[in-house]
A and B are shown apart, each in its own frame.
Chain A
Amino acid sequence: MDITGGLHVRGLNVTAGEPPAAVAIASGITFDVRPGEAIAIVGESGSGKSLTAKAVLDLLPGNLRAGGEIVYGDHDLGQLPARERRRLLGRELALVMQDPFTMLNPVERVGAQITEPLEDEHGRRLDRARRRQEAEQRLREVGITDPAVVERYPFELSGGMRQRVGIACAIAQRPHLLIADEPTTALDVTTPHEILELLGGLRRTRDMALVLITHDLRVAFSVCDRVYVMYAGSVVEAAPAGELSAAPRHPYSLGLLLADPPVDRRVERLVGILGSVPVPGGRPTGCPFAPRCTFAQPACVSALPELVEIAPGHATRCRRIDEIGDELARRRREQAASAVIAPADVAPAPLVAASGVRKVFAARGRHGLPTVALDGVDVHVGEGESVGLVGESGSGKTTLGRIFVGLEHASAGSVAIDGVEVAGRRLTRADREAVRRTVQMAFQDPYSSLNPARTVGATIAEAVRLAGNDADLERKVTALLERVGLPAHYARRRPAELSGGERQRVAIARSLARGPRLVVCDEVVSALDVSVQAQILNLLRDLREELGLAYLFITHDLAVVRQVTDRVYVLCRGEVVEEGPTARVLDDPLHEYTQRLVASVPGATEPVPLLEDLGLT
């Protein structure tokens, strides 16, 4: 097969359902990957990026149909019989999936999974010794040097190791094109960097083309030559990575860039994008981004603009780009150069304090060992102070937050909530009430933190009633909704009718209903799209200013921590390894673990390239 041509996708459509009522998921997708090239398809959830990749591989779920032209090498994949097309999978085109916890078979050893498809020159299965040897070699290629891993089961490996094994499986048959669908999203803070380096390295050494599907522009810029930005089922901009970063030529691309909180400094205000991504079937006619676009004109709504090449290799779907191009570039420059805001330097009276807190979870099963989640942790949050709690999963950061709100109880040590000691004794009803009035929690997953059977109004009203004031319930619910930026009529809606960002606003309103002085925010923005994340972060900053709230901000995202906290604790395996003002800890980390965390943020060390650097002005 001649693969010199690479992969060319022309006018790819993905639709759900049968023709009269078919809903377009992706339409008119066009992209090219040349051999050895790395491209990224970037978009928020619901943009259709993953299904585009699945359509290329012929892995669409049964109720979806693909149309359009997919040319690989000298084959039109759409014309190929299903059997032949399937033969290409693994040999020519391979896929790395997002979730390293489910993509490997839990009851098969790693070695067996890697060597499964391998055959010798005569098309026969390899013998035992050859399989073992091949498996070890494949693992070495993905950076696993310990040959014993061949004999392990997936559950014995960490997430990062599993993702490496997943990649080893994908490239076992030396494919010429690797599609990686959010390969780093499910991984812990320090591992994505390594996986991205691995993918970048493989691409160079194997001369393998790489299609990276991601929601994170920083990830895309760190690995890829060219970036396709997708929005609501169409490609809105395609550009070389550097050019896109320096001078985006579509308002949506600019919005994504501006919404991404910078990791290296604190900006006065993040710029979110108004509203949220439309769902397939509810997409507007005309330019899909028009309803959220600050540059939109009536003409934008009438028809979908064409993808027009405005410079070699740089295309945009914005019909006003000639008029607004300079303005987009100016805004991007402005943000890149925006002033550093120094956090307030205060030493307020402590509101909650944990000292020497230990938390041990009982052993599971007869042979399990007890898990030490927290081991002698000292953390305190002052009145009106915003404190970050940073660490990887398993570091105990969520456990500590749950101890503060009373969902867990410390095994040893002291936890004082506004002067009330809550550890190691039975609490009276009055104590519990005092804790609830002081500390409330906002949860990570906006999809499960609201009771699906209740309306938003009922959820908030219940919280208001518990605060002890039944009078004027409706007005108070409305006031809370408005405080978090939602219109009053949202009280009648159920969670299923809200977007992720709106749900998170409701969850925040609920936590405010009891008038707490500290809100424990457990990864409140990590499940949200970047444009919505910026809105929520701004909201949290506003609330703090208006209500004098203190935050304990639990997160793994250093850029987020930089934007909203004054002080930060770094947790590693249940111990605080470093603490200090956020700017100092992130700019000048002292502990080796913090240094690893900081170094692992993709693109952290590279400043935003300016147009001058690219010689484009």
Chain B
Amino acid sequence: MSTDITAVAVPVPMDRRRRWLWPADVPVSVLIAGMVLVVMAACALLPGLVAPQDPALINPTESLLRPGGAHLLGTDQLGRDVLSRVVHGAGTALSGPLIIATATIVLSLALSLVAGYFGGWVDAIVGRGVDLLYSLPPLIVAMVLVGVFGGGYWLAIGVLIVLNIPQNVRIMRAAVIERRGLPYIEAAETLGVSPLRIMVGHLLPNIAPVVAACFFLRFTYGIVDLSSLSFLGLGVPPGSSDWGRMLAENRVQIFENAWASIAPGVALVLTAVSANFVGDWLYEHFERKGRTR
């Protein structure tokens, strides 16, 4: 009658670790989107290697050439090579949104963890502050401020960072609160784990999918927001090879060389859509992995 019971080892599939590194079930769309992002990143990091010419080289004799020959995408009004300018534009197109997304997410995450974990008056203060910010439309405030105080690229980025906090706090705080009352958090409390460690060590890994999703969404919006600003002539200085700016400068010559305005537009859309695809898939993937049953 007294046979003791010890747990029997259940074999775990051995390929679990490998699959984490390279998941076998990546859909083709995500694979393509990922490759687009890699290409864009290469352009941003080493434009000199990819671009056939100097993007700022003005050559009035070759202005408004149609695609072909030495200029794969033709030239603009000043005779600058469109392809080279698109390649060089990747730098500002990616770095700005990256900064915005990273900074916004870090700030929002800190606020969400503190507000969601402690609750009470801390939550109330953060909540009302966020509500206040929510009432300001980011792009319009950025336009006004940059317009009034002069074309500060960094001012635009700063405004977009701060004004994008509310949406992220709403989402991430809800995710924190959802897990805050779960027994594993309470167990950590009864063991005497410090609040900071609970927030960073226990809550953060469990809301990581949400954070990743927010990051990519912010990144996508950042691309569009910043390009909108430079399209309107705000933000980046004139002459720089920014996609939004190129769209604005070259749309007048759309009948001479349509590619000069189509190419930066396509690059914009491709990058934004690809980031969205990858972000969406990452969220789903981690969410599935993190599920306990």
Which residues between 1 and 32 of chain B lie within 8 Å of chain A, taking CB atoms? Answer: 1-10, 12
Which chain B residues border A291 with CB–CB below 8 Å? 8
Which chain B residues border A268 with CB–CB below 8 Å? 1-2
Indicate whether A579 reaches chain B with its CB closer than 8 angstroms.
Answer: no
> Contact at A454–B7, with CB atoms within 8 Å?
no
Which chain B residues border A511 with CB–CB below 8 Å? 187
| Min distance, Cβ A272 to any Cβ of chain B, angstroms | 5
Count of residues in A whose CB is under 8 Å from the partner chain:
58
Which residues between 195 and 223 of chain B lie within 8 Å of chain A, taking CB atoms? Answer: 201-202, 205-206, 208
> Contact at A466–B186, with CB atoms within 8 Å?
no
Indicate whether B69 reaches chain A with its CB closer than 8 angstroms.
Answer: no
- With the chains together, A486 CA to B7 CA distance in Å? 6
Which residues between 266 and 307 of chain A lie within 8 Å of chain B, taking CB atoms? Answer: 268-269, 271-276, 282, 291-292, 294
Q: Chain A 524-554, CB within 8 Å of chain B: the 1/0 string? A: 0000000000110011000000000000000
> Contact at A441–B190, with CB atoms within 8 Å?
yes
Indicate whether B128 reaches chain A with its CB closer than 8 angstroms.
Answer: no
- With the chains together, A462 CA to B10 CA distance in Å? 25
Which chain B residues border A514 with CB–CB below 8 Å? 191-192
| Min distance, Cβ B96 to any Cβ of chain A, angstroms | 32
Count of residues in B whose CB is under 8 Å from the partner chain:
31
- With the chains together, A485 CA to B9 CA distance in Å? 11
- With the chains together, A495 CA to B184 CA distance in Å? 11
- With the chains together, A449 CA to B184 CA distance in Å? 4
Indicate whether A159 reaches chain B with its CB closer than 8 angstroms.
Answer: no
Which chain B residues border A271 with CB–CB below 8 Å? 1, 3
Tally of A-B Cβ pairs under 8 angstroms? 112
> Contact at B292–A495, with CB atoms within 8 Å?
yes
- With the chains together, A30 CA to B145 CA distance in Å? 75
| Min distance, Cβ B114 to any Cβ of chain A, angstroms | 20
> Contact at A538–B191, with CB atoms within 8 Å?
no
- The residue that A269 contacts in the complex, of B2, B184, B291, B292, with Cβ under 8 A, is B2
Indicate whether B193 reaches chain A with its CB closer than 8 angstroms.
Answer: yes
- With the chains together, A338 CA to B1 CA distance in Å? 10
> Contact at A443–B5, with CB atoms within 8 Å?
no
- With the chains together, A407 CA to B191 CA distance in Å? 11
- With the chains together, A511 CA to B190 CA distance in Å? 9
> Contact at A443–B292, with CB atoms within 8 Å?
no
> Contact at B192–A432, with CB atoms within 8 Å?
yes
Which chain B residues border A452 with CB–CB below 8 Å? 184, 206, 290-292
- With the chains together, A291 CA to B11 CA distance in Å? 13
- With the chains together, A88 CA to B6 CA distance in Å? 48
| Min distance, Cβ B184 to any Cβ of chain A, angstroms | 4
> Contact at B187–A443, with CB atoms within 8 Å?
yes
> Contact at B193–A485, with CB atoms within 8 Å?
no
| Residue ranges of B at the interface with A (Cβ–Cβ < 8 Å) | 1-10, 12, 182-184, 186-193, 201-202, 205-206, 208, 290-293
| Residue ranges of A at the interface with B (Cβ–Cβ < 8 Å) | 268-269, 271-276, 282, 291-292, 294, 334-335, 338, 405-407, 432-433, 436, 440-441, 443-445, 447-454, 462-463, 466, 485-487, 489, 493, 495-497, 499, 501-502, 505, 507, 510-511, 513-514, 534-535, 538-539
**Additional 13 contacts, C-beta under 8 A, given A271-B3, A335-B1:** A269-B1, A273-B5, A276-B7, A338-B1, A406-B190, A436-B191, A436-B192, A448-B182, A449-B187, A451-B188, A452-B206, A462-B191, A538-B5
Ordered by A's residue number, 30 sampled pairs between the chains whose C-beta atoms are within 8 Å are: A268-B1, A268-B2, A275-B7, A276-B8, A291-B8, A292-B8, A334-B1, A405-B190, A436-B190, A436-B192, A443-B183, A444-B183, A445-B183, A447-B292, A447-B293, A448-B182, A450-B292, A451-B184, A452-B184, A452-B291, A452-B292, A453-B206, A454-B205, A493-B12, A496-B293, A497-B12, A511-B187, A534-B5, A535-B7, A539-B5
